[in-house]
Amino acid sequence: MEHLLNRDPVLPRVAEAQEVLWLNPKLQPAAQALECAELGMDDIRDAQARLDRFASFIRVCFPETEPRGGLIESPLTPIPMMQKMLEERFGAVIPGKLLLKQDSHLAIAGSVKARGGIYEVLKHTEELAMEAGLLKETDDYAKLATPEMREFFSNYTVQVGSTGNLGMSIGIASAAVGYKVIVHMSVDAKQWKKDLLRSHGVQVIEYEADYGEAVKQGRAQSDADPMSYFVDDENSKNLFLGYAVAALRLQDQLREQGITVDENHPLLVTIPCGVGGAPGGVAFGLKQVYGDNVHVFFSEPTQAPCMLVGMATGLHSQVCVQDVGLTGLTEADGLAVGRPSGFVGGVMEPLLAGEVTISDPKLYVFMRALLESQDIFLEPSACASFQGPVELLKQEAGCAWCEKMGLTAEKLANSTHIAWATGGALVPADIREHYKTMYL
Ligand SMILES: *Cc1c(COP(=O)(O)O)cnc(C)c1O
């Protein structure tokens, strides 16, 4: 372990479960980094077009998406009162404008997983239907919701390993198409998430072990069944591209709100990170759209900073948080991952601005602050997103980094900060009440 910790000056503090700000020494100019990436804008546009084709189907299955014509998209909300509260209570001066990207309120799954998870189920559905000669790209995809089609899909199984939210997204979407669904839940998964899934007819298998083990078991069971498809959260390019579409949608939303992003109007985004797929996909899309004018940070729990450990050691999925003496245990169930995605780590290495880590009690402090200031509820995992702007702008190292990146006081005054709120809408009322008193 000693020589692991020598690989980056931040690691000894990470190993002590301290809150840290880490600035990525391997960050490259976006054009250079994106040139080497195996995925590109064409892939993101292809995913966007697929979601558009499925809109008529989504509308039929999930009437709550009717107002957006079957698009699953979330509000982008200015939170000036929270911005003020962060300044008053947390000692950071946040110039520019703070916005909340409310994926917490995405239809169907109530979390960011409604992007990647549902996209992957739909892509698989399109492939199966096309192979069987039941669907053409030019068809109205609403036909996939007919009883005959459901009958066809009921011959197939979808399986996934999850800490909770991915299982809910895949489970609810797959059940809507008509698949048999098996969700392999890690020990961190909350009871209400399991209960909700079972109410949708999903088979939930519980493990005493962590997320990595749930994935391993799920994959093995799925591989043994030729009619079963396994959603691989650690390596799936489909999931990643589903998340990346968020950037194209965000671009439209920023334009609609009259917010400019360019060299003089930088965009700074913080996204909570578990295994890496969701924040990685969103970040990759944002770098495609905004290049060097967007700076993306990930935020992780102090006991489960798997992506940070992977990045700072350069070992990616070859290292886990237990290797540096951390537990991997956190109340932030969406982020309770000990080993990062190697695929995402590789893609993000030259693109990620940096990382912050946050203690469990602080998640609840932010959660209550947002409730108090803006009357918006987020699940604890999602509240990790506020740590980015606060730590970057509070710490000397953060300010020095801004200077180095050419983010002058003038540019920061014109900047937009986005806290990417990754989950919350489905949390039951009694659990919300319980959260309100946690660590008090
Ligand atoms: C899954 C999840 C994340 C992180 O996504 P990963 O793909 O695991 O990195 C963040 N917040 C919430 C609420 C989540 O459910």
- Tell me, in angstroms, the distance from the centre of ligand 1 to residue 290's CA: 23
Gap between the Cα atoms of 112 and 114, Å rounded: 5
2-109+238-436 and 113-236, same CATH topology = yes
Q: Whose CA is nearest to atom 8 of ligand 1?
A: 274
- Ligand 1 proximity of 273 Cβ (cutoff 6 Å): yes
Q: Quote the ligand 1 centre to 334 CA distance (angstroms).
A: 5
Assigned token pair, 326 = 């951390």
Q: Kindly state if the Cβ of 276 falls inside 6 Å of ligand 1.
A: yes
Ligand 1 contacts CB of residue 334 (under 6 A): yes
Residue 165 Cβ < 6 Å to ligand 1: yes
Topology given in CATH for the domain delimited by 113-236: Rossmann fold (3.40.50)
Question: 272 alpha carbon to ligand 1 midpoint, in Å?
Answer: 6
Ligand 1 centroid to Cα of residue 16, in Å, is 23
Ligand 1 centroid–CA 173 distance in Å is 17
Ligand 1 centroid to Cα of residue 410, in Å, is: 34
User: Ligand 1: which atom is nearest the Cα of residue 165?
Assistant: 15
Residue 301: CB within 6 Å of ligand 1? no
Q: What region, left, alpha or beta, does residue 439 occupy, with left being phi > 0 and alpha being psi -120 to 50 degrees?
A: left
For the chain, domain boundaries:
2-109+238-436, 113-236
Ligand 1 centroid distance, CA of 304 (Å): 12
Ligand 1 pocket, residue 398 CB under 6 Å: no
Ligand 1 site-directed mutation target among 309, 422, 427, most atoms within 8 Å of CB: 422
From residue 209, how far is each of 18, 327, 369 by CA, in Å? 25, 13, 33
**CB atoms closer than 10 angstroms to residue 252:** 11
Relative to the CA of 276, which ligand 1 atom is closest? 9
- Ligand 1 pocket, residue 186 CB under 6 Å: no
Atom of ligand 1 nearest to the CA of 239: 7
The domain defined by 2-109+238-436 carries CATH number 3.40.50.1100: yes
pTM of the model: 0.97
Distance 159 CA to ligand 1 centre (A): 18
User: Token match 């948080």: residue?
Assistant: 321
Q: Along the chain (440 residues), what's the average pLDDT of each consecutive run of 10 residues?
A: 91 98 98 95 98 97 94 97 97 96 95 96 98 97 96 97 90 95 90 92 91 91 96 93 98 98 98 97 98 98 98 98 96 94 97 98 98 98 98 96 97 98 95 95
> What is the whole-number distance in angstroms between the Cα of residue 403 and the centre of ligand 1?
31
Please work out whether the CB of residue 422 comes within 6 Å of at least one atom of ligand 1: yes
